[in-house]
Structure 1
Amino acid sequence: MLKTKTVHGVLWSFIEQLLRRGVSFLVTLLLARFLVPEDFGLLAMMAVFIAITNSLMDSGIKQALIRKKDASQVAFNTAFYTNLVFGIFAYALLFGVAPWVAEFYEEPRLTLLIRVLGVVVLINSFQLIQSAILSKELNFKTQLKASVPASVLSGILAIILAQQGAGVWALIAQMVVSSLLLSIILWYVQRWRPTLSYDFSIFKEMYLFGYKLFLANLLNIIVKNLYILVIAKVFSAGAAGLYFFANRIKELVVEQLVTAVQKVTYPALSTMQDDDVRLKAAYRKVLKLTTFILFPAVLMIAVLAEPIFLVLFPERWLPAVIYLQLMCIVALLYPLHSINLNILKVKGRTDVYLGISLFKKIVICVVLFFTYRYGIVAILCGQIAQSIFSYIPNGYYSSQLIKYRMKEQVLDILPGLLLSLAVCLVVYLLSQLLTLEPVWKLLLLLSMGSLTYILFSKLLNIEAYNMAEELFLQKFSTTKVYKRFMRRYG
């Protein structure tokens, strides 16, 4: 029952991420017509510092709260006030270092930009508990109802500002207003309210669990954004903007699905942390379904990147095509990384989680050191090699903890990967032969590729397809459309 609930949760969380990032993508699509790569480059320069202070504000408390069984009102209060204090401290720190960041990049505008954008850290500290409670309950449908309106309204504001020539301020307004609206809506739909109580023993328990996740997450943020730091410093804000823009498009599919998996599998599977057999079975099911959806999506984006850019964006963004294609190759291993790391958290091995994170970050830094002088394409090729190599420790510890060996994991994802490669190879060959207008070529190839993948998944009886079909039919059978149809014709 829990396995089914978990997969349903993944789907709802995926839909939430899809709609939210889908709205974000549409907004980005429109903003790209009014903004230049340098505007996105300025935002990219600030992103690492905002992400670090957000992580400091959280400090792993949210994850500890989700994992905590039978959390009391006092536990929620303790987490809430802790996040609030940490949020104030994080913003004060960000406010103070803003001039140094501007000096580092030799970009004076960054001082004010960072101080204004940093307000999102304070805002986010007010909604972490509501989000944690909904995650504990696997209530991602409610989170969907909160996040989509926030994304839509903030996006509309950003487009209006961009049309009026606001430049990078349009992007900042979008992020601040989105965080504010999301917090307000979450407080409305999730009725938990803080009371005046605090327990230092609960804080100590949560912090001892969470600080290792915080350190691992901090390292992950720094190293993940290290590419932007280097590109912006060594090359230019425009080059950083192109890289950042390509990464945003990749995130539309990749990050939302991986985030959905992490958000759902962690709270759901924490309840079976002492049953390795059930834990392994549930993870296998989630891994198969996740990669079945992800593989064709990212490979199709890689193959059709050029017509996508020709149809959707002004010509000034075309240099980002090759960046997007290489990023999609890197993304193929994301589900394996995220699921194996979730296993460590579920089993309470945050020490191993931190150790693996340290190892991976060292590898990233070494690879980046040897590739940055050869250009951005070389940096991305290094990311591909690093992602493959870093999977080894991830998979090894999963095999030790729940006997889910790397060989089994590879065999579980192989059917979807091979079929995706075959379909996308055909799509690529057709894209080279067809001489249609870019928009018609894109629509035709996307339709053909998607239908072919679904058809052959059905014919080859791929297990992940059968799971997806069963879940879809279960969901559809409960819809009002289906019920009205059955009343009329059934």
Structure 2
Amino acid sequence: MAESLKEKTAKGLFWSGINNGAMQLLNLIFGIVTSRILNDTDYGMIGMLSIFSLIAASLQESGFTSALANKKEIRHEDYNAVFWFSSAISVTLYLILFFCAPLIADFYDNENLIPLARYAFLGFVISSLGISQNAYLFRNLMVKQKTIASISGLAVSGIVGIIMACLGCSYWSIATQSIVYISVLNICLWSFSPWRPTLKFSFKPLKGMVNFSAKLMITNIFNHINNNLFSIILGKYYSEKEVGQFNQANKWNYMGHSFISSMVGSVAQPMFNQVGSDQTRQQRVFRKMLRFTAFIAFPSMLGLSFIAPELITITITAKWLPSAHILQILAIGGAFIPITALYSNLIISKGKSNIFMWNTITLGILQLIAMLILSPYGLKNMLTVYVAINIGWLFVWHYFVFREIKLSLWAALKDVVPYAGIALLAIAAAYFITGHITDIYLLILTKITVTAILYGGLMWICGSETFKESLSYLLKKTGKK
């Protein structure tokens, strides 16, 4: 059983990495091209509205996708109730936001946001039409179909966004890109899902799902608030340019840590559920996952911080260089986000959604208070404290993990700190080795190569089992191909 679980986990991590990698690559390509054409003000205009769309999307979905997936027995009436409920909520929310657009514009002191908001918010209305279809594919493990749908949506919307940007449509091209993505995604979901809504419906099936789904909805809303906190505060107290520069940096940071979090998260919760109630085995499996996450996250995200100025300048030109300095700070915090995701997956696997929800809410409130207090002192100070709070909150997550599987803080630190230390040592050495290089292309290439060689070499010298197992599995997969 142990060997079976180990192999299943390795395969899950491998294929999840490939799927997420393809998605991130498309996002990266289209993002680079669009960023070269548009400016920080264009991205700032969209950034100031993103929080409203995300919260509305969470309210319309209301956690029912996971609730439908968790039902032991499911009927047409369940999907139908969710479909009509989501559609009704989305139309209601759109009408509210449509008439509130002038208030949003007054908050940011920008009248151009009124027509843009009313156009961009159409996205979550369209999105509601695919929630039940998405839940059907998710419940029936139709991963291939969901991947095709997502990639198709990214490809078509990316092309549309680039064409509109070239035609001088500025921030309208970004808004349209988002709407086209959702539309193509939904068309694909409807084509892959055999389920269809009917006009005869009842909301009674929702009663059995509300207790579970409501907690997820609240948690998702606070996660969106946490992730978009800076866009709101910068839009209010600074300008569209600062919002645009931050959003650009945050996009690169998100691509990095979400790739790792998604790869680990795709197998973590199912794996924890399969381990059973054996606390010793639970702890052993969790520590193995913790070491793997730290092994990947620290060199990747700290390395991203290290090469940020060169990466931003080469890919999206020097006009975005201020975002590189923001990215350097964000990426340090991003190194710890996959670890936080692993901790939260364990908590959820134990059925403790209350802990997950209140942890997220408390963190969000703490961050909001800190950012409001620090808003007069500049973006750099705000970012530094924001990252410090997120890293420090890991100790709170660990307390709850300790209560579940009795993993001591010292044991967790022994699993995490060596990888962080070795990554920092490799980066520090690469910094001094490459200090004399002036050509930007040679500099970034040398930084990456030297850091990777040093990190891998130090892993080998230190006898890291995680490194050797990962290398062995990759070589085996390559050999098979």
- Deviation, 1:211, is 0.7
Give, in whole Å, the separation in 1 of the partners of 2:421 and 2:74: 44
Worse overlay, 318-327 or 405-414:
405-414
The answer to whether the 8 Å contact 1:9/1:139 transfers is: no
CA gap 1:276/1:135 in 2 versus in 1, 3 angstroms: farther
- Deviation, 1:398, is 1.2
Worse overlay, 169-178 or 351-360:
351-360
Q: Which of 164, 168, 173 is matched with 1:170 structurally?
A: 173
- Identity, in percent, stands at 26
The answer to whether the 8 Å contact 2:233/2:372 transfers is: no
Aligned to 1:150: 153
- Deviation, 1:130, is 4.0
Aligned to 1:257: 260
Please tell me the residue identity of whatever aligns with 1:298: M
Q: Deviations over 1:442-461 (max 9, x none)?
A: 12221232233334434433
Please tell me the residue identity of whatever aligns with 1:173: T
Alignment of 1:179-190 (within 5 A): 179-190=182-193
SS in 2 for 1:32: helix
Aligned to 1:357: 360
Please tell me the residue identity of whatever aligns with 1:229: I
CA gap 1:142/1:402 in 2 versus in 1, 3 angstroms: farther
Residue 368 (structure 2) pairs with residue 372 (structure 1): no
Q: Which of 215, 218, 227 is matched with 2:218 structurally?
A: 215
Alignment of 1:314-325 (within 5 A): 314-325=317-328
The answer to whether the 8 Å contact 2:158/2:177 transfers is: yes
Give, in whole Å, the separation in 2 of the partners of 1:352 and 1:286: 21
Q: Which of 419, 424, 427 is matched with 2:422 structurally?
A: 419
Give, in whole Å, the separation in 1 of the partners of 2:143 and 2:422: 31
Which segments of 5 or more consecutive residues in structure 1 lack a partner in the other structure? 483-490
For these two proteins, the number of residue pairs brought into alignment is 478
- Deviation, 1:136, is 4.4
Give, in whole Å, the separation in 1 of the partners of 2:406 and 2:381: 37
RMSD of Structure 2 on Structure 1 (CA): 2.6
Q: Deviations over 1:279-300 (max 9, x none)?
A: 5444333333233222111111
Alignment of 1:268-417 (within 5 A): 269-270=272-273, 276=279, 279-417=282-420
Aligned to 2:233: 230
Give, in whole Å, the separation in 2 of the partners of 1:65 and 1:442: 47
Residue 233 (structure 2) pairs with residue 246 (structure 1): no
CA gap 1:95/1:475 in 2 versus in 1, 3 angstroms: farther
Please tell me the residue identity of whatever aligns with 1:453: Y
Q: Deviations over 1:54-104 (max 9, x none)?
A: 111111212223333454554444434433333333333332322211121
Q: Deviations over 1:252-277 (max 9, x none)?
A: 21123223433543455456675655
Worse overlay, 313-322 or 79-88:
79-88
Aligned to 2:462: 460
Aligned to 1:486: none
Q: Deviations over 1:200-241 (max 9, x none)?
A: 564222211111221122122223212111111111000111
Aligned to 1:441: 443
Which segments of 5 or more consecutive residues in structure 2 lack a partner in the other structure? none
Please tell me the residue identity of whatever aligns with 1:318: L
The answer to whether the 8 Å contact 1:74/1:197 transfers is: no
Please tell me the residue identity of whatever aligns with 1:8: K
CA gap 1:120/1:408 in 2 versus in 1, 3 angstroms: farther
Please tell me the residue identity of whatever aligns with 2:341: S
Give, in whole Å, the separation in 2 of the partners of 1:387 and 1:419: 22
The answer to whether the 8 Å contact 1:372/1:379 transfers is: yes
- Deviation, 1:348, is 2.0
The answer to whether the 8 Å contact 1:289/1:467 transfers is: no
- Deviation, 1:420, is 1.3
Worse overlay, 175-184 or 134-143:
134-143
The answer to whether the 8 Å contact 1:16/1:147 transfers is: no
Aligned to 1:485: none
Give, in whole Å, the separation in 2 of the partners of 1:124 and 1:274: 39
The answer to whether the 8 Å contact 2:130/2:190 transfers is: yes
SS in 2 for 1:425: helix
The answer to whether the 8 Å contact 2:268/2:346 transfers is: no
Q: Deviations over 1:414-470 (max 9, x none)?
A: 3322221121112222232223x1012212221232233334434433232234234
CA gap 1:119/1:341 in 2 versus in 1, 3 angstroms: same
Residue 71 (structure 2) pairs with residue 65 (structure 1): no
Q: Deviations over 1:316-345 (max 9, x none)?
A: 211112100000111122122212222222
CA gap 1:264/1:367 in 2 versus in 1, 3 angstroms: same
- Deviation, 1:372, is 1.4
CA gap 1:267/1:64 in 2 versus in 1, 3 angstroms: farther
Give, in whole Å, the separation in 2 of the partners of 1:470 and 1:352: 38
Give, in whole Å, the separation in 1 of the partners of 2:348 and 2:57: 20
Give, in whole Å, the separation in 2 of the partners of 1:76 and 1:464: 43
Aligned to 1:111: 114
Aligned to 1:487: none
TM-score (norm 2): 0.91
- Deviation, 1:376, is 0.5
- Deviation, 1:134, is 4.3
CA gap 1:176/1:273 in 2 versus in 1, 3 angstroms: farther
Aligned to 2:124: 121
Please tell me the residue identity of whatever aligns with 2:179: V
The answer to whether the 8 Å contact 2:293/2:339 transfers is: no
CA gap 1:459/1:187 in 2 versus in 1, 3 angstroms: farther
CA gap 1:335/1:28 in 2 versus in 1, 3 angstroms: same
Worse overlay, 200-209 or 167-176:
200-209
The answer to whether the 8 Å contact 2:374/2:381 transfers is: yes
Runs of 4+ more than 6 Å apart: none
The answer to whether the 8 Å contact 1:272/1:278 transfers is: yes
- Deviation, 1:109, is 1.7
CA gap 1:134/1:466 in 2 versus in 1, 3 angstroms: farther
